[in-house]
């Protein structure tokens, strides 16, 4: 278990390296203070996977360094039931002049392992790292992938109660990454907890039990991974928006407020300028009847009725379908489809009809809707006027006449089986 309460960390920033020396010699302040973490509190139960997300510079690495003991917080309390290990900055605590074997000894001691524990684990660490004869060579002769192998092997064999999984893992080759993932899954199955820091939002939603969103060193949201990732996406839209009217994120939950009951909680953050209003969203079958359930493979129509409160010179309309894990199974928009919808005048009402084949596997899906203006690049917009997930639900039932399959979609396969005598 990890309980972090009101963690604060400030860094001194110097304009020039020589200012540090001047500060000591002249006993005058030559620095400014940068608040990297402010009042960060959270809890990770044993066996839980806790995701930490946020943009570059949000404070994720600083928090991990504090949890692993690499940095001390300025204030705040941390309670944990054992040690937290992970890769962090590769080679923290490694001596590049020493051999792999000597580094195992030194690094394991830094992690708090006793001499007898190190002796007992040494062969396991060496075998897992698969460095062959390089284990006797100085680390300066290693590639970054080889350093990562050694660092991971030590960290996972150091009997942590919590393991940090972050982007440093991606330094390893595909074979070793898979091996690491299996070791992490075994660790979790034995009741270990995991702090997972990633920019891969699908992985956060799939792997984590809870997630926390950091922004400028503060917690912006904490809760179910799907909600927190949605909040993060809304924040990114907010950032990319160029229009005169700012995007607001309609998500009133903050960590200091009591968590609302699930039924009271807004389904997903609604991001937008308020200049386009969603009047109605309905799902219809081939006969145009309003539905909430459909048979796989049947034609589906999604109708979004919108009202513009201002002129939109280059409007585009988007649609998204997500499965119950919040994974996008399909999303597109009129810009990405090469369409050029007509401009819209203030006060005008628009009906956007999407006709799709619902060739999805049996399950529950949610519908997302977006409206942007002035597209650029491969699918970005200068202005995000409306964007929200989970606005309607759709249940897909299996078509009894369709093939049986697993995965997300029926890709309508055709197959040929050719015997040797018939091969060219």
Ligand X SMILES: Nc1ncnc2c1ncn2[C@@H]1O[C@H](COP(=O)(O)OP(=O)(O)OP(=O)(O)O)[C@@H](O)[C@H]1O
Total residues interacting with ligand X, rule: CB under 6 A: 12
Query: Measured between alpha carbons, how far is 168 from 159 in angstroms, rounded to an integer?
Result: 20
Taking the complex as a whole, the smallest distance from the CB of residue 54 to ligand X amounts, in Å, to: 5
Residue 272 in 3-state DSSP?
strand
- Token readout for 120 is 């007992």
- Give every CB contact of residue 245 below 8 A, 6+ residues apart in sequence: 273, 274, 275
Among 15, 16, 56, 404, contact with ligand X (rule: CB under 6 A): 56
Q: Does 330 bind ligand X (CB under 6 A)?
A: no
Nearer to ligand X, 57 or 274 (CB): 57
Nearer to ligand X, 54 or 320 (CB): 54
Part in contact with ligand X (CB under 6 A); list of ranges 18-26, 54-62, 109-117, 219-227: 54-62
Nearer to ligand X, 58 or 350 (CB): 58
**Strands 75-80 vs 2-14: parallel, antiparallel or unpaired:** antiparallel
Q: Does 59 bind ligand X (CB under 6 A)?
A: yes
Report the 10 Å Cβ neighbour count for 208.
24
- Give every CB contact of residue 35 below 8 A, 6+ residues apart in sequence: 8, 9, 10, 216, 217
Taking the complex as a whole, the smallest distance from the CB of residue 34 to ligand X amounts, in Å, to: 5
Taking the complex as a whole, the smallest distance from the CB of residue 73 to ligand X amounts, in Å, to: 13
Taking the complex as a whole, the smallest distance from the CB of residue 44 to ligand X amounts, in Å, to: 18
Taking the complex as a whole, the smallest distance from the CB of residue 370 to ligand X amounts, in Å, to: 26
Q: Does 60 bind ligand X (CB under 6 A)?
A: yes
Among 48, 49, 62, 198, contact with ligand X (rule: CB under 6 A): 62
Q: Check: CB of residue 68 under 8 Å from CB of residue 215.
A: no
Taking the complex as a whole, the smallest distance from the CB of residue 41 to ligand X amounts, in Å, to: 17
Q: Does 11 bind ligand X (CB under 6 A)?
A: yes
Taking the complex as a whole, the smallest distance from the CB of residue 7 to ligand X amounts, in Å, to: 12
Closest alpha carbon to 320 in 305, 308, 304, 342:
304
- Token readout for 58 is 């949000």
Nearer to ligand X, 13 or 124 (CB): 13
Among 51, 54, 372, 375, contact with ligand X (rule: CB under 6 A): 54
Q: Does 36 bind ligand X (CB under 6 A)?
A: yes
Taking the complex as a whole, the smallest distance from the CB of residue 166 to ligand X amounts, in Å, to: 8
Nearer to ligand X, 59 or 326 (CB): 59
Q: Does 57 bind ligand X (CB under 6 A)?
A: yes
Q: Does 58 bind ligand X (CB under 6 A)?
A: yes
Query: Measured between alpha carbons, how far is 157 from 186 in angstroms, rounded to an integer?
Result: 12
Nearer to ligand X, 62 or 85 (CB): 62
Report the 10 Å Cβ neighbour count for 404.
6
Nearer to ligand X, 13 or 21 (CB): 13
Taking the complex as a whole, the smallest distance from the CB of residue 197 to ligand X amounts, in Å, to: 7
Helix axes 100-110, 144-156, angle to 10 degrees: 40
**Strands 363-376 vs 315-322: parallel, antiparallel or unpaired:** antiparallel
Residue 341 in 3-state DSSP?
coil
Part in contact with ligand X (CB under 6 A); list of ranges 55-63, 180-188, 244-252, 306-314: 55-63
- Give every CB contact of residue 26 below 8 A, 6+ residues apart in sequence: none
Query: Measured between alpha carbons, how far is 284 from 321 in angstroms, rounded to an integer?
Result: 15
Give how far the C-alpha of residue 381 lies from the chain's centroid of Cα atoms, to the nearest Å: 22
Place of tokens 């020039």: 16
Contacts with ligand X, residue ranges (CB under 6 A): 11, 13, 34, 36, 54, 56-62
């Amino acid at each position: 278990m990890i309980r972090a309460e009101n963690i604060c960390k400030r860094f001194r920033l110097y304009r020039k390296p020589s200012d540090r020396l001047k500060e000591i010699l002249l006993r005058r302040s030559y620095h400014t203070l940068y608040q990297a973490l402010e009042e960060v509190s959270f809890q990770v139960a044993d066996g839980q996977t806790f995701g930490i997300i946020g943009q570059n510079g949000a404070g994720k690495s600083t928090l991990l360094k504090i949890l692993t003991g690499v940095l001390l917080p300025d204030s705040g309390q941390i309670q944990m039931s054992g040690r937290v290990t992970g890769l962090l900055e590769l080679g923290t605590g490694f001596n590049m002049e020493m051999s792999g074997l000597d580094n195992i000894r030194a690094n394991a001691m830094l992690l708090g392992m006793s001499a007898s524990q190190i002796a007992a684990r040494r062969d396991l660490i060496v075998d897992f790292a698969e460095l062959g004869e390089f284990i006797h060579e100085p680390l300066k002769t290693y590639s970054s992938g080889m350093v990562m192998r050694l660092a991971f092997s030590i960290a996972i064999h150091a009997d942590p109660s919590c393991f940090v999984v972050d982007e440093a893992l991606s330094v390893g080759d595909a074979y070793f990454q898979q091996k690491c993932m299996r070791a992490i899954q075994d660790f979790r199955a034995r009741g270990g907890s995991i702090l997972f820091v990633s920019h891969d939002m699908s992985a956060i939603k799939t792997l984590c039990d809870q997630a926390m969103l950091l922004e400028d060193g503060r917690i912006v949201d904490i809760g179910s991974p799907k909600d927190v990732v949605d909040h993060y996406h809304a924040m990114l839209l907010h950032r990319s928006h160029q229009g005169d009217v700012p995007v607001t994120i309609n998500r009133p939950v903050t960590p200091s407020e009591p968590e609302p009951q699930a039924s009271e909680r807004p389904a997903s953050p609604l991001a937008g300028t308020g200049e386009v209003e969603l009047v109605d969203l309905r799902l219809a079958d081939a006969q145009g009847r309003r539905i909430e359930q459909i048979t796989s493979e049947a034609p589906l129509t999604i109708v979004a009725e919108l009202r513009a409160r201002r002129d939109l010179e280059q409007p585009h309309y988007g649609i998204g379908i997500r499965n119950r894990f919040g994974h996008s199974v399909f999303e597109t928009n009129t810009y990405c489809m090469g369409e050029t919808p007509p401009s819209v005048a203030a006060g005008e009402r628009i009906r956007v009809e999407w006709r799709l084949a619902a060739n999805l596997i049996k399950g529950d899906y949610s519908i997302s809707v977006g409206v942007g203006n002035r597209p650029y690049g491969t699918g970005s917009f200068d202005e995000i006027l409306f964007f929200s997930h989970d606005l309607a639900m759709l249940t897909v039932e299996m078509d009894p006449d369709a093939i049986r399959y697993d995965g997300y979609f029926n890709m309508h396969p055709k197959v040929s089986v050719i015997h040797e005598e018939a091969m060219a």
